Structure 1
Amino acid sequence: MKRQSTQAGLSGIARRVRAGSDDGQSGFTLVEMLVVIAIIGMIMGLIGPRVLSSLNESRVKTARIQIQSFSSALDLFYLDTGRYPTSSEGLAALVRPASTIPGWAGPYLKGGNVPSDPWSHPYVYRAPGQRVPYEIVSYGSDGQEGGVDLAADISSSMTIGAR
């Protein structure tokens, strides 16, 4: 008799487990979920600005590295053609040959196109630059000349020094 009642009890539990119901409460209360969300929010509030700061600093470093890469490509262009591209030819002369450029042996940049700066703005190329044969400029996060902090201009004359 005792065995039958035990089996009946176990089968009742199995039915409740299969049905997904339980007489006891399960899951999380609204208060518990709000506490967890508040904790996650505080953690993101502390860590978020540091992550964004690192991201912005890495964009500035990326722009400097790209400008150095352009400078190396421009030097190879100069060795092949005896001149730097004009302002009207721009950096595109490093990837696409023009019939007016004798001795062109490019492309001088991989990928077949001139990449934009880390803020998706085109680089500005001036030839001649101020006191240098050429100047390559990224206008920073705002995409406009001038600015401070992240919006400050990044120039080849600052990056690699005057030529």
Structure 2
Amino acid sequence: MARHADGCSRSTSARDQHSRRLQGQAGFTLVEVIVVLSIMGLIMALVGPRVLGYLTDSKEKMARIQVETLSNATELFFIDNGRYPLEPEGLQALLAAPASLPTWRGPYLKGTAVPADPWGRPYRYSSKDRGRSYIISMEGASDKDEGSAPKRLSSARPQGGGREGSY
């Protein structure tokens, strides 16, 4: 037995046996790593498109709900004021009273700002005929965005009466 500086005696043959045992169990082989990575890649290839599809569907549904909410708020504005917001007032008129409207009873939307669409872009508002009709629209997903969300989504109330929309 060999004596070490720390005063402990160790068998050199036991140490050699222990290090030989560790050399055989040092890690995974290259083949094992490649097999595991291949399986993980296959799983991601199968599951990934489904997950992205769910995200795209949920963004599209959210956009439809937001356009419907903005349209409903615009209808409430019409009930109180006898007209829809004018184009210069825009959707902001649903949150803060335009100076020309003493009958404004809003806000007609919750929150402090008009929501952006699920892709982060603002909704567009246009009004013709001195507030007797309106169109709320959005661009939808761009070519850079994932999925196939609608390129355009709008809600309109024509001058003649009932609400019409293309959701």
Q: What TM-score do the two structures reach when normalised by structure 1? A: 0.73
Report the Cα distance in structure 2 between the residues aligned to 1:151 and 1:162, rounded to whole angstroms: 18
Q: Percent identity?
A: 44
Measure, in 1, the Cα distance between the counterparts of 2:163 and 2:31.
Answer: 60
Take 1:89 and 1:22, find their aligned partners in 2: how far apart are those partners? 76
Greater alpha carbon shift after TM alignment, 134-143 vs 84-93: 134-143
Distance 2:37 2:63 in 1: 37
Distance 2:57 2:128 in 1: 29
Q: Please give the root-mean-square deviation of Cα atoms over the aligned residues, in Å.
A: 2.9
Partner of 1:153: 152
CA contact (8 A) 1:142 1:151 kept: no
Partner of 2:136: 136
Count of aligned residue pairs for this structure pair = 140
Which whole-Å CA distance do the structure 1 matches of 2:163 and 2:24 have between them? Answer: 73
Unaligned runs of 5+ in 2: 1-9
Pairwise CA distance, 1:27: 3.1
Aligned partners of 2:67 and 2:155 also within 8 Å: yes
Question: 1:128, 1:97 → 2: CA distance?
Answer: 20
Q: How does 1:88-127 map to 2 (within 5 A)?
A: 88-127=88-127
**Higher strand proportion, which one?**
2
- For structure 1, the residue ranges without an aligned partner over 5 or more in a row are 1-7, 144-148
Q: State the match for 1:27 in structure 2.
A: 27
Counterpart of 1:51 in 2: which secondary structure? helix
- Tell me the TM-score normalised to structure 2 length: 0.71
Question: Which 4+ stretches in 1 moved above 3 angstroms?
Answer: 21-24
Summarize deviations over 1:113-134 as a string: whole Å, max 9, x none: 00111111110111139xx821
Partner of 1:108, secondary structure, is: coil
